[in-house]
Amino acid sequence: MRGTSTERQSSNPPPSRRIGNYELVSELGAGTSGRVFLARRQGLERLFALKVLHKDLPPEQVERSQRGARLAAKLHHPNIVRPIDIGQAMGCIYVVMDHVPGNNLEDRLAKHGAMPWREAASLVAEVAGALAVAHEAGVVHRDLKPANVILHGRTGRAMVTDFGLARDTTAPSQLTQVGELIGSPVYMAPEQLEGGQVTSAADIYALGVMLYELVTGKLPYDASDLRSLRERVRSGRYKPVSEHVPQVNKELDQIVGELLSADPRARPSAQRVAEALRGFSGNASTTGGSKLLSYTASQLGVRPTVLLPVLGLWVLVLGGVTAWALWEHRGRRKLRDRQAELQRTSDEARAQSDSYRARLGSKERELEQTLEESSTLRLERDRLRGQVEAARQTEAELVRLRQQLREVNQQLADHRRKPPPQPKTGGDPAWEGLLKQTLARQIEWAIERLEGAAGPQAALTRATLLHNRGRYQETLAAIAAARAAQAQLGPELKALEARTLYKLGRMEEASRGFMDLAQAHPDTAPGLFGRALTSQDRAERVRLLQASAEADPKASYMRIALASGLVGADPKRALQLADEAIHNDPTAYQSYQLRSQIRLAEVQRTRDKSGLAPALRDARCAQLMNPGDPESWQLVAQILLAEGKAEEALAEATRGVAVADRLGVAGPRASARILQGQIALARRQTNLALQAWVQAVQLDPRAIQGIWPTLRRLPPRFQDPVIQALPPEMQREVRRQLGKR
């Protein structure tokens, strides 16, 4: 499992070839956080590397990139690529750095494989020297890898770049929390892989992995997934460098072992690593001795008779030479003293000049830092103002949207009280046409307008509308995006997630969601709702649903659940709750569906068919608002059958089967086929009824309970195919109840 970056396409960067004061010359590459361009600034001949951050980056990742740039700008070292400007233009945030011609070490490894070990040691020594300066300033790189080290095309120097994940250990707080895993896993230290505290020792470990890879062309630990990688790193067993490269200096094995130590405290500092690796490129010096030759008079061949005059002359000459030498020595000593005095004066002047230069450089850095911080603060202020303004606009849109939906719902109610005549040309009733053109379109328009809107309320509204349109997978995706953007989900979004999982037939996940809701938010309206749905006692469930509806008078789904439990016991109260749910949220198709079911139940109880027309209108409304819910199609089919329109009822039931199949949940698919079979049997289409019921029990054997009252009255030739479609143990029980062997 390599630690390379994953490239992606984006709608960035700017459509023009200019951003801010910089002209974009060509694109150098793209990564997970942005695209990098070769740029030129107006009035300057230098080339720069300009990185444009992706517009869809989460705010914390944008802040992390800006913070990394600010940290890198504080570091002064010939082997560090420093950012020189941060700006914002055309809605894009960009970072400008010196352009370093050349390829990174990852490209070098991919093209040429492992390099000579002395060359690798020299390059890693340069990287270690850069890290030493960073660590001294309290900066931990946290993403050191060959892809983030560039080989200068002219000088061959190793240049450390991309401090986007850097951490300032002197700062009081950080964006990254303990337990959060960022970076490239194969270069991570054991404590970093486990989600622990990351210190400068993590950079030293990454340095060891990089040195190992440069010398051998392989990684000390490699795996296909993160779990396997953790296990291998935890074991601490890897092949020494010398097993891959026998000619390597044995001391290099020892250095790599110290760098890859599982204990962060056992790893050396970056300065010690740099000094140790520089030693591999030094040259030994040699020294030689000399001889002093002496001669005697006999060796010179001088006779003793002439020795005394010669000696006298020699003494005179020697005395003159000695006097001259003494005079010369005094002159030279005075000259040396003068030179030493001048040297001291020069050294003092140089020291004073260096002091002034250092103080001036410090003042320049302070001024530069102040200007950078001021620019960053302005950018941050502008960004926050933009977010606040966007949040205000989103909230205003939500208010207007809710008002428009209520107005449309009121118009529909007015039309229902005084139904207009049917069109002469046939087709839908006028109220149904109005619904198609207004309410359903308003919902789709709202979903589109809220896409990408910031804030938890916008996320909740958009996810709710997606759920109400039956777009359940998109609902879960919207909730997942909200979870990634927020510290934690609110109880309303959690409740919506559990309800959506229930609709998709993922009962265990839905049950866990309701239980988590009840435990994490016990005193809120959604928490009471979660407790109600996990309760096994019917009376307790009704009591908790009543409490949740009272705690949040505007939550439609709580009223719908409460009304469903009161349909048989208190139909008048159930109908009142359905009306309240429609008033609170006219986009909730379940409210219309429930009101239709209540009216159909009253027709069946009182035999008064006057309630069938409003029941059908509500069922059609639910059907149009959420065409993907098979229950609405079945409800329309039941009402049409009660009106004596068996052929139309069968057509609706058949379409309901297709809708249930698209939903892909076994329970609704079986229920749709049970109703289809019952209507087909009423129309004496026995083959179709038999086929539908066999499919129903094959999808869900529990469907036999819905067929059972009718099945008992049918002849054996009709019963046997349905019974044979059941599992063997259920076949025996059904045959026993029917009195068959």
Q: Which residues are catalytic?
A: 143
Q: Please report, for residues 201, 430, 468, 574, 579, the alpha-carbon distance to residue 412 in angstroms, rounded to integers and kept in the order given.
A: 68, 10, 18, 21, 13
CA angle 227/232/235 to nearest 5° reads 125
Q: Which residue has the tokens 């002219």?
A: 154
* Cα 678 → chain centroid: 50
User: Sign of dihedral through CA atoms 727, 733, 736, 741?
Assistant: positive
For 30, the token pair is: 């793209």
User: Sign of dihedral through CA atoms 80, 85, 87, 89?
Assistant: negative
Q: Which of 505, 569, 559, 501 is nearest to 532 (CA)?
A: 559
Give, for 98, the enclosing helix (H) or strand (E). strand 92-98
Strand partners, 159: 150
Tell me if 80 sits within 8 A of 139, measured CB to CB. no
- Indicate the DSSP class of residue 512: H
Q: How far apart are CA 257 and CA 277, in angstroms?
A: 14
In 494-564 the beta strands, taken as DSSP E runs, fall at none
Taking the CB of residue 5, how many other CB atoms lie within 10 A of it? 18
Give, for 514, the enclosing helix (H) or strand (E). helix 507-520
Q: How far apart are CA 577 and CA 595, in angstroms?
A: 9
Residue 489 DSSP SS3: coil
Phi and psi (nearest 5°) for 560?
Answer: -65, -45
From first CA to last CA, the distance across the chain in angstroms is 62
Tell me if 33 sits within 8 A of 53, measured CB to CB. yes
